Structure 1
Amino acid sequence: MAYQNLISEIKENILYITINREKALNALNKDTLIELADVVVFAGKTDEVRGVIITGAGEKAFVAGADIKEFSDYNGKQGEELAKKGQDAVFNAIEKSSKPFIAAVNGFALGGGLELAMACHMRVAADHAKLGLPEVTLGLIPGYGGTQRLTQLVGKGKAIELITTASMITAIDAKKIGLVNYAVPQADLISKAKEILDLVKQRAPLAIAAAIKSVNASIDNGNGYDTEIEEFGKCFETADFKEGVAAFIDKRKAVFFGK
């Protein structure tokens, strides 16, 4: 996969995506969003990929926001379309992917950068990283799901505080409020994300996908219990279920094939 703004490679069933615009602090411009949309589709349809790690080039920024110059003269309709396209093609697509995505936050995660990290299923941050949604300083609000996902992760009161004050918080504080799963030294960032996915890779792929779908349903449709029941039943029809039970009875390690 050859991209202009991304570096992507698969190693040991993990797809590593690096947003490669270091001089622009990895800001999300239109071309980068198009490429992200493409690689998310690739991850979803490629059996070799069991999980995804997204990070930014360098140590200064994961993604320091969107490329403001590209939409500085937009009107209301254009702004709405910008948000809708981005949410549908990238941010929601990541959240709804059957493959687990981990954001490895290696520096500033601001605006669209924090929204990208929050769209991922898990977040690991370097302990020097800073996170925030500064859109109100531009006369805007978060447009790529930030108001919704931040509220889901940290609660209404804290979300409103962070959004309306435009305050940045450290990775350590982000961990305390549940915004990131782990805060680790920069040198350990990718290895920690890999450590999580190495555990995921040992589990049944179809069950992983069913679990992600069920968790998302708790927010998306207001009745995640029905989705959980349905997905639980579907698991019984898989070869992975039969293998998992047989391995448990035989006291051996299960070998899953996602079937």
Structure 2
Amino acid sequence: MRASLPRARAALKHAVSPPGGLRAHEATLPEGLGAHAASPPGELGVLRSLRTAFLDAHADAVYAELTVGRTRGLRLAELVAAAGSAFPGLVPTAAELAADRALAQARKAGHEIDLGVFLSRMLRSPLSGGHLMDTLLSPTARALDLLPEFTAVGKTDLGSVRLERRDGVARLTMCRDDCLNAEDDRQVDDMETAVDLALLDPAVEVCLLRGGVMTHPRYAGKRVFSAGINLKSLHAGDISLDGFLLRRELGYLHKIWRGVRVDDDTSWHSPTRAKPWVAAVDTFAIGGGTQLLLVVDHVLAASDAYLSLPAAQEGIIPGVANFRLPRYTGPRLARQIILEGRRIRMTDPEARLLVDEVHDPDELDRAVERGLDRLRGPAVAANRKMLNAAEEDIDAFRRYMAEFALQQALRLHSTDVTDKVGRFSTRGTAPAGSPS
């Protein structure tokens, strides 16, 4: 018989508190535990098992308490902070997380594995996980602050993303020319803000994603779509589980696919506001760039571009690509791309499984405008909604994300990953995520 939540809470607090608990044990661990955090010493493993068992028994009750009976929406970092206060020992403390995040990836103690356990169990529950995913479709506070000015002026510079509304098109230009649009926590925040603004602005009919012109010597004067995850930031310990790896998938990518939640006089027939999306690929879409293409409605590419998903070679999981890619390519080609690192060049016949149009680079601009015009029809949004509902079951997506939260946390702290990012930091000045 399961213990009551108050008794289980007290037992958990006692198990992980000094003397003899997790924090006392961690003080005796050697520097550089991060290299072994995914396969920890015995006591750490036992305590993680206790946390997992606690959540397997009480996840819905915990989530209900933290969200006041699911009447309060908490984003990932807020949910973790609330859990740390209400259930001591269930997740690392704010001080522990802050100290860990100040370290290079190879030196971390692996506290994000415990976040992975917690968030995995929250997402695994249809009740709690469903509410959490709905919460994460809400517009960010930053976007709501910027919305009045953007609707009036039609442009904003968010730092790593420029957004401009022109002729009913929201044009999102990724402009991190210092790293070929390789993503980090900062760019995920900018991208989610830009997606929110584009979806909330009533004057926007269709949205365009494109990379800006780069200044990096190897690609100076050329547009680049995306170099994927920022490997320099990963080495430095600046790629977070909740602020990047989960927020990216459950935030702006999910919003592109399913829309942003609204609370207005239209919400009676649809809780989200969605719009069609076009992506234009110049030069390459590596990793997260290819993942982006899997959630948009129409993809155009320059004939000299290529796509790749090198995450397995980097030691991590390529977001939701494992879930979405096979329905575009079939399972055999998906395994070649994800497990073996196969590049798809626009001259390959297989490229047409992933892109709708391939054009000479000097013809791409005109082709993009034609593609945007085709998606302005009054019935496009309704048909897009039905296509997406048929293609991707939201509960299947939630279950995937529940397992992803834990598996990606384990991968981040695995020895092979910390070794790879350590070697990357000594290779010189090649931009994060760029081709070797």
Return the TM-score normalized by structure 2. 0.47
Cα-to-partner distance string for 1:89-123 (whole Å, 9 max, x where unaligned): 11111122321111100111011111112222221
Q: Which residue of 2 is the match for residue 235 of structure 1? A: none
Q: Residue type matched to 1:18 in 2?
A: T
Kept in 2: contact 1:22–1:56 (CA 8 A): no
Specify which of 90, 101, 124 is matched with residue 300 of structure 2. Answer: 124
Matched, 1:114 2:276: no
Query: Aligned residues: percent identity?
Result: 25
Q: Which residue of 1 is the match for residue 388 of structure 2? A: 216
The whole-number CA distance in structure 2 between the counterparts of 1:195 and 1:134 is: 32
Tell me by how many angstroms 1:172 deviates.
Answer: 2.7
What is the 5 A alignment of 1:46-65? Answer: 46-58=201-213, 59=222, 61-65=224-228
Q: Which residue of 2 is the match for residue 66 of structure 1? A: 229
Matched, 1:138 2:314: yes
Q: Which residue of 2 is the match for residue 22 of structure 1? A: 177
Return the TM-score normalized by structure 1. 0.77
The whole-number CA distance in structure 1 between the counterparts of 2:181 and 2:206 is: 22
Q: Are residues 190 and 140 of structure 1, via their aligned partners in 2, closer, same or farther at CA, if it must alter by over 3 Å?
A: same
Mark the runs of 5 or more structure 2 residues left unpaired by the alignment: 1-155, 214-221, 260-273, 396-436
Kept in 1: contact 2:185–2:243 (CA 8 A): no
Specify which of 347, 352, 365 is matched with residue 172 of structure 1. Answer: 347
Q: Are residues 50 and 218 of structure 1, via their aligned partners in 2, closer, same or farther at CA, if it must alter by over 3 Å?
A: same
Matched, 1:156 2:331: yes
Equivalent residue of 1:43, what SS?
helix
Tell me by how many angstroms 1:190 deviates.
Answer: 2.7
**Greater radius of gyration (CA):** 2
The whole-number CA distance in structure 1 between the counterparts of 2:372 and 2:350 is: 19
Matched, 1:45 2:217: no
Aligned-residue CA RMSD (Å): 2.3
Q: Are residues 9 and 81 of structure 1, via their aligned partners in 2, closer, same or farther at CA, if it must alter by over 3 Å?
A: closer
Tell me by how many angstroms 1:10 deviates.
Answer: 1.3
Equivalent residue of 1:22, what SS?
coil
More strand by proportion, 1 or 2? 1
User: Which structure carries more relative contact order (alpha carbon 8 Å, separation 6+)?
Assistant: 2
The whole-number CA distance in structure 2 between the counterparts of 1:10 and 1:73 is: 36
Aligned residues between the structures: 218
The whole-number CA distance in structure 1 between the counterparts of 2:196 and 2:351 is: 33
Q: Which residue of 2 is the match for residue 88 of structure 1? A: 250
Kept in 2: contact 1:136–1:164 (CA 8 A): yes
